[in-house]
Structure 1
């Protein structure tokens, strides 16, 4: 198995082969990676400390737990995870989590023990920790990026329970976060700006046209967020892989066009996303909704529970 000549990380290519929906069997994975099953297994086990079939089974169980917590049926989650019978899935889930899948509630799904820090992260991406066995190996930027997208989705789901008039009620007259974005006086307005900020910056990074203004009801925003979050994580991962934090981005969406250091763009998005998420929390509390602190410490403790 030769190293990739495309510049893409070879281990990530192997992980893609393991987790591709079309590769349920070891032979499929190896063929996808242009390797024999023997060499594929040896390389994966050496680089991750986990056999490819075991890694796939664990990550898909983590995904299934998340899906059930979001309202999926046990049956749908079982077949999505590649199990031929619901009974087999229930047994495997129970052995892994210590409780049946039906006992999974929103926010209760956690990562399973892993020798390599590779885990499922919604909506479609993996979380890959640096040096998972060493506390000093924590990648703080990865923590912030994943916490941000996860917490935003959490707030959107809370907002979905509100009556329309409460969702759009003016709660902070005259409130603005960034002058050029205009007022953000309601839960609806802050959440829309929270999602749209990533859409606009992604368009600049991807050299795409200005994104059209989408619907701002909670269901539509959650769909928009899931799309933007997946692309945002992939974009930041690519910037880090290329060591491009100091590169300049020419933003043609500005009039006149401006240039920005890419690292400062990521820091900008994280800064104002955190600010808006706390604004939403204040507004939700004023609407009588119980909401947590949005603390990355608590979020990470939940993710690492029983690890």
Structure 2
């Protein structure tokens, strides 16, 4: 996989919407080749393969794991299956890019990291937000002192989900609720800027099924900084975020996790607007390109999405769930 004279060969595991969006972007990534796709049924895999011109389609995860012509697998299953699917691929010798949230809970995430490290296989959580040019520039400015000492991070992700009693978002057995599907973005944004918190408080409104539909989180970080975060399946927030420092602030006015612009306000100065191109497609190709780069370099994890960072986010999510009383079957 470190040879530069052939493409990195990808397998796609699952055929849902995020798998389709990722594959569409992956086809445009230099040095990448989509070699195979797998689903729980062969017809679903074949339809996906025909749609994207993928040469091999499998009706089981095991067949994809056994394919010697696949270097890395993108795991795009629902997050309740991330642990089992990723473990299977790692144990078969594949590198893995696993969708977020990394797993259902910290225990599962720790098992994946241990497996990857023991087998010296590449593993990365697919937190595409970390590769967004706007987010990376914001981090660069903050760490460079553009707004002084960071005192607070605000981030919200919410939309009114269509009422559907059969939706996985309402199903505890499917890891439902706002926190893991939407809240992972604000939590990850706060971790990126301020690190793992020292104190975690949360309050939520739960559905009759026992998952959170509206959650607010306060994180207390070293040095006194606070993160004020929320996620919702019943309210539209606009997906805004901001970073507040001792000498200014940065505002991402909408869709902060894949933004194209932000505004820097320095105390006493004129607001500066930055617009950055996130590239073609959906923006998912940036994380795929990082996987290709890491595999060519012989790395087993990305410095931009380190495994310890993914574990830290999972610890925060677990604590939030404990605070609001959301538990999944089998935990």
Larger strand proportion, structure 1 or 2? 2
Into which bin does the TM-score normalised by the smaller protein fall?
Answer: under 0.3
- TM-score, normalised to structure 1, is 0.28
Q: Please tell me whether Structure 1 or Structure 2 has the larger radius of gyration of its CA atoms.
A: 1
- TM-score, normalised to structure 2, is 0.27
Indicate the structure whose relative CO is greater, using CA pairs within 8 Å and at least 6 residues apart.
2
